[in-house]
Amino acid sequence: MKATVKAVCISEKKGTKKHPVPSITLLENHGIIGDAHAVNADTPIQYRHRQISLLADESVDTMRAMGMELNAGDFAENILTEGIELKTLPVGTRLQVGETELEISQIGKQCHNDCEIKKLTGKCVMPTEGIFAVVIKGGIIRPEDVITILR
Q: Which domains does the chain have, with CATH numbers?
A: 4-149 (2.40.33.20)
Could you give the residue ranges of the DSSP H alpha helices within the chain?
57-64, 116-121, 126-129
First to last CA, the chain: 19
Write the pLDDT tens digit of every residue in 111-129: 655 556 555 556 666 667 8
Q: What is the pTM of this model?
A: 0.88
- Burial 18-46, CB ≥16 within 10 A → b, else e: beebeebebeeebbbeebebbbeeeeeee
Closest CA to 82 of 128, 145, 150: 145
Residue 94 has pLDDT above 60, yes or no: yes
| pLDDT digit string, tens, across residues 48-78 | 888 999 999 998 887 788 777 888 988 788 9
